[in-house]
């Protein structure tokens, strides 16, 4: 995660948030929730809730920090200390681990390309 090398806690927070968004995007893409007719929202955390209900806690956690991320992106000053940035970074790491577990489980459930169950055509 790019956030690991950031010395400024605000930048560490921002970079970790972007990594979390990418993880959410991977889950959303896996499930196709963004292509569903009811997918009116473009908010990654709202889409994540419908894509993978088991990620609702994560969705709520990151959604609660969206305003801070938006303020940082807009160049507004937000007071984020090293401890807060480090804890957030750690939580993002745990979230990405859960995302990786979901993606790995999904890959194991899909048959390999060209697999025909021993049948010939």
Question: Is residue 102, in this structure, part of any structural domain at all?
Answer: no
pLDDT in tens, 79-116: 999 999 999 999 999 999 999 999 998 876 565 566 55
**Structure tokens of 88?**
């957030």
Residue 45 sits in which domain range?
9-79
Give, for 99, the enclosing helix (H) or strand (E).
helix 82-109
Number of domains in the chain: 1
**pTM for the structure as a whole:** 0.80
Question: Is residue 93, in this structure, part of any structural domain at all?
Answer: no
Contacts (Cβ under 8 Å, ≥6 apart) of 16:
1, 3, 85, 88, 89, 92
Question: Is residue 103, in this structure, part of any structural domain at all?
Answer: no
**Structure tokens of 6?**
């950031």
Distance CA 15, CA 1 (A): 8
Question: Is residue 115, in this structure, part of any structural domain at all?
Answer: no
Question: Is residue 101, in this structure, part of any structural domain at all?
Answer: no
Distance CA 29, CA 74 (A): 27
Question: Is residue 105, in this structure, part of any structural domain at all?
Answer: no
Question: Is residue 67, in this structure, part of any structural domain at all?
Answer: yes
Question: Is residue 36, in this structure, part of any structural domain at all?
Answer: yes
pLDDT in tens, 21-50: 999 999 999 987 666 555 567 799 999 998
Rounding to the nearest 10 degrees, give the CA dihedral for residues 86, 87, 93, 99.
-150
């Amino acid at each position: 995660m790019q956030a690991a090398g950031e010395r400024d806690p605000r930048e560490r927070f921002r970079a970790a948030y972007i990594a979390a968004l990418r993880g959410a995007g991977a889950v959303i893409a896996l499930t196709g929730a963004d292509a569903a007719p009811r997918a009116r929202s473009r908010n990654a955390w709202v889409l994540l809730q419908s894509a993978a209900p088991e990620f609702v806690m994560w969705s709520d956690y990151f959604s609660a920090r969206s305003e801070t991320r938006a303020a940082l992106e807009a160049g507004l000053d937000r007071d984020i200390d090293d401890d807060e940035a480090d804890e957030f970074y750690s939580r993002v790491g745990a979230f990405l681990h859960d995302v990786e577990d979901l993606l790995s489980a999904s890959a194991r459930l899909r048959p390999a390309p060209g697999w025909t169950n021993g049948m010939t055509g």
